[in-house]
Amino acid sequence: MAPKVKYTFGPDIDLNKTIIRGKNGKRITNKRAEKMAMEAIEKVLGRPSLTAASVESPQIKVRVPMNLKKALDKEAKRRGETKSVIVREALEKYLKSA
C-alpha cells in the first residue's frame, strides 16, 4: 500500500492575471494549469488493476506490422476505447475459440 503523502497548498494564483511561463516559455493559464494537474493525477493514480485490488496487472508486448497498428488505432478512436481494451477482447475471443 502506498504511503500517505501530506500536500501543502499555497494561496491560489489567477494565472489569467499573473504571467507564469513553463520550461518551454509558453504561458500557463488557469485552463492549462488545470489540464496539467489532471494529467499528473492520472499518471499517479494509473488504471485500476485487472488482476485484483492493489495488485499490478501483468503486461505483454508484441510487435505488429504498421497496417495492423494503424487499424487498431483507427478502431480505438472509432469506439472511444483504449487499444488495450480492444487487444484484450480480441485475445480473449481467440483463446476461447482455440
Could you read off the pLDDT of 54-84 as tens digits, one per residue? 788 889 999 999 999 999 999 999 999 999 9
Separation of alpha carbons 34 and 32, rounded Å = 5
Residue 18 has pLDDT above 70, yes or no: yes
Start-to-end CA span in the chain (Å): 38
CATH 1.10.260, domain 57-97, yes or no: no
Task: For 31-56, write each residue's pLDDT tens digit.
Answer: 888 888 888 877 766 677 888 877 88
What CA–CA distance (Å, rounded) separates 69 from 6? 42
Using CA atoms, how far residue 46 sits from 8, 20, 43, 89, in Å, is: 22, 28, 5, 20
pLDDT of res. 50: 85
pLDDT for 73 equals 96
* pTM (predicted TM-score): 0.51
pLDDT at position 3, please? 60
